[in-house]
Structure 1
Amino acid sequence: MKTSYREYLKLNKNLIISFLVALIASATVAQLFSEEESYVNSSYTVIVDFTVFYSSFSILFYIDNRKRYRLPDGKTDNNQLKKDLVKIISSLGVGEIIYMATRWYLQYYFLTLEYEPYIASTIAHLASTLVYMIAVNLSVKFTRLYKHDA
């Protein structure tokens, strides 16, 4: 398998695992704040979702890529690391803007329809994740994050 495909698979694996961890945390928070107004519940849930997702993703991404930036002498290839960090941050940033707007709106919408908070959170999370995954993968392709590995 080409190295770039393997890198895409690792990236997507890390995104999915991070989303699952964030899904559990945000559904729990949504239920804990079930007595709050819909906009407050949606806002708290998105904040927890964002925090848990990026914490999980950062750890997983580091674990999968720590050897990628090692030079033969054991030092870090800081130039390549900086270039790739800019690419991954911009790719995730584009996806995150789309994700957060979609996530907040869908959860708010489902809460106003009187769905249970954890169900509203779960549905909004899953739908937004699909949109996010498409946006991030297109952004990573556009920024050519894995071009130097091909």
Structure 2
Amino acid sequence: MKQKYKEYLKLNKNILLGFLASIAISAMVAQIFSNQQSYVNATISLGVDYVVYFSTFGSLYYIDNKKKYLLETGQVDKAELRRDLIKVISSLGIGEVVYTACRWSLQYYLLTNSYQAYAASIVSQSISTVIYMITVNLSVKLMRLYKDGP
């Protein structure tokens, strides 16, 4: 298998594991705050979602890529690291804008239509995650983060 496809698989694995962790925690938080107004519940659970997701994703991404930027001398290839970080952060940022709009509005809609708080959180996050994954993968491809060769 080509190296760039392995890189896409690692990126998507890290994204999905981050979302699995955040789905569970943010659903619990949404249920805890179920007595709050719908917009407050949606906002708090989205904030918890971000903290859990980025902590998990960042840790996994670091573990998978810590050796990628080492030179033979043992020093870090700072230019390559900086270039790739800009591409990753840009791709995730584009995805996050789309994700935030989808997740918050879906959860708010579901809460105002009598869904249980945990169910509204899980459903909105699941749908938004699919949209996020598509957006991030298209962004990574367009920015040519993973290219063949040196």
TM-score normalised by the chain length of structure 1: 0.98
Amino acid of the residue matched to residue 61 of structure 2?
A: F
CA distance, structure 2, for counterparts of residue 139 and residue 54 of structure 1: 18
Matched position secondary structure for 1:147: coil
Map of 1:124 onto structure 2:
124
Where structure 1 has 5 or more consecutive residues not aligned to the other structure, the ranges are: none
Sequence identity, in percent? 53
CA distance in 1 between counterparts of 2:109 and 2:53 reads 22
1 CA distance for matches of 2:6 and 2:149?
Answer: 10
Q: Deviations over 1:64-102 (max 9, x none)?
A: 000000000111000000000000000000000000000
Could you tell me which residue of structure 1 aligns to residue 135 of structure 2?
135
Equivalent residue, structure 1, for 2:50 = 50
Match of 1:109 in 2: 109
Aligned-CA RMSD value: 0.9
Equivalent pairs, count: 150
- Corresponding residue number in structure 2 for 1:14: 14
Which contiguous aligned blocks of 4+ residues in structure 1 show a shift greater than 4 angstroms? none
Alignment-derived partner of residue 36 in structure 2: 36
CA distance in 2 between counterparts of 1:7 and 1:149 reads 13
TM norm structure 2: 0.98
* 1:147 Cα offset (Å): 1.5
Give 5+ residue unaligned stretches, structure 2.
Answer: none
Alignment of 1:72 onto 2:111: no
CA gap of 1:138–1:36, structure 2 versus 1, over 3 A, is same
